[in-house]
Amino acid sequence: MDLARHGTMALWLGLGVVLAHVRGLNAADLKCQISYPPENAIVRGDVPIFGLADAPRFKHYRVEYGPGTKPDKWTLVTLSRTPQPEDPYTAGKVRWDPNKGAKGNLVTWPTGMTEYLYGAKYDVNLNGVYTVRLVVEDEGGKSEEHRVTLVVGRAVTLQTGGRPVSPDNRVQLTIPPWGSPAGFQPMAILPSTEVKPGPGLIPVGSIYEFRPPHLRFAKPATLTMAYTDAELKGTPLEKVGIYEFQPVEEAWKREAARKPSVAPTDVVVPPPATATPVDPRSAKRA
């Protein structure tokens, strides 16, 4: 399966990047802007947040995050009384350490890193879509905010491989050592509602999107999609399959998969490159 050809998972990646660079600069006197990471970036571990936070009568700024694109609950990352009138990222002054990355001038946001032994130091282990917001307030009570939506994924490395997993823990991709296309590659598996099931296909659970698209692996990766007996509703296992959406043909293609295990909890497929977003059951084959 060639992601460079199909590009199945490119539905939202990179949309709205400009918002991360312009929104928040229109409020008089208040400087409130997140310049990095850009909108829809896939992140993991300690994520540097760069930008501007300043005002003539500056009181403080805070950085918070919440689940989804429209959070109704926010978790505080930092509240600082030190203004940030200059943005080192926009000015090109950030020094990126190849092993440690960089520290954000606004804050460095910990998202977790269970992929490595030192991951135990984290109090959180985020996975999925999150909104990060910067709020700047002055002494007069005036405030301005700027938001960016980010995707917290899982880290895959060249030497150790990795195992990206969906936020609901129902889909995982096991990449072997020396199978990654890069030395350090963050990846995410997210539920998707953009593409609908084809005729005769009944989804078992959700349709999933893989980010980033167009990845090619040096070794086969194993995709596992879980289901329950209740979801099958008595459907024979031979009618359960993993399908990939072909955007050019606008059709679903069934992938060759191993038979489900004796205790039917998942279906496994070892593709040369991963791009299989749906696990439907069907009385017909597409």
Give residue-wise pLDDT tens across range 204-217: 888 999 999 888 89
| Segments forming the whole domain that contains residue 47 | 19-152
| Sequence-ordered list of residues with C-beta below 8 angstroms from that of 53, at least 6 positions apart, any chain | 31, 32, 61, 80, 83, 84, 106, 134, 136
What is the pLDDT, as a whole number, of residue 1?
37
The answer on 86 and 207 residing in a single domain is no
In whole angstroms, what is the distance from residue 177 CA to residue 148 CA?
33
Q: Average pLDDT in the 77-88 region?
A: 98
The answer on 134 and 29 residing in a single domain is yes
- Identify whether 236 is preceded by a cis peptide bond (ω within 30 of 0): no
User: For the sheet containing 171-174, what is the strand order?
Assistant: 171-174, 222-226, 266-269
Secondary structure of residue 230 in the 3-state scheme: helix
Number of domains in the chain: 2
In whole angstroms, what is the distance from residue 214 CA to residue 60 CA?
42
Percent with pLDDT over 90 in the chain: 54
In the predicted structure, residue 5 carries a pLDDT above the cut 50 = no
* Nearest C-alpha neighbor of 134 from the set 24, 41, 244: 24
Say what the pTM is. Answer: 0.79
Average pLDDT of the chain, as a whole number: 81
Greatest mean pLDDT among 20-24, 66-70, 235-239 lies in 66-70
In whole angstroms, what is the distance from residue 197 CA to residue 143 CA?
45
The answer on 118 and 36 residing in a single domain is yes
The answer on 142 and 93 residing in a single domain is yes
Beta bridge partners of 240: 281
What is the pLDDT, as a whole number, of residue 257?
66
Q: Which of 152, 177, 210 is the last residue of a domain?
A: 152
Least confident span in 16-20, 48-52, 137-141, 223-227: 16-20
Measure Cα distances from 108 to 71, 92, 272 in Å. 20, 18, 36
Least confident span in 30-34, 108-112, 239-243, 254-258: 254-258
The answer on 120 and 218 residing in a single domain is no
In whole angstroms, what is the distance from residue 232 CA to residue 286 CA?
18
In the predicted structure, residue 134 carries a pLDDT above the cut 90 = yes
Give the domain CATH number at 212. 2.60.220
Residue 230 banded pLDDT, cuts 50, 70, 90: confident
The answer on 158 and 147 residing in a single domain is no
Residue with tokens 């760069």: 50
In whole angstroms, what is the distance from residue 260 CA to residue 207 CA?
19
The answer on 97 and 37 residing in a single domain is yes
Identify whether the C-beta of residue 82 lies closer than 8 Å to the C-beta of residue 63.
no
Asked whether residue 50 is domain-assigned, the answer is yes
Q: Which of 111, 132, 152 is the last residue of a domain?
A: 152
Q: Which of 152, 170, 186 is the last residue of a domain?
A: 152
Percent with pLDDT over 70 in the chain: 78
Greatest mean pLDDT among 42-56, 114-128, 181-195 lies in 42-56
Greatest mean pLDDT among 23-27, 126-130, 193-197 lies in 126-130
The answer on 191 and 131 residing in a single domain is no
Q: What is the DSSP string of 214-265?
A: S---SS--EEEEE--HHHHTT--GGGB--EEEETTTTEEEEPP-PPPPSS--
Tokens encoding 26: 């229109």
The answer on 170 and 123 residing in a single domain is no
Asked whether residue 61 is domain-assigned, the answer is yes
What is the pLDDT, as a whole number, of residue 69?
97
Residue 53 banded pLDDT, cuts 50, 70, 90: very high
Greatest mean pLDDT among 4-13, 30-39, 239-248 lies in 30-39
In the predicted structure, residue 199 carries a pLDDT above the cut 90 = no
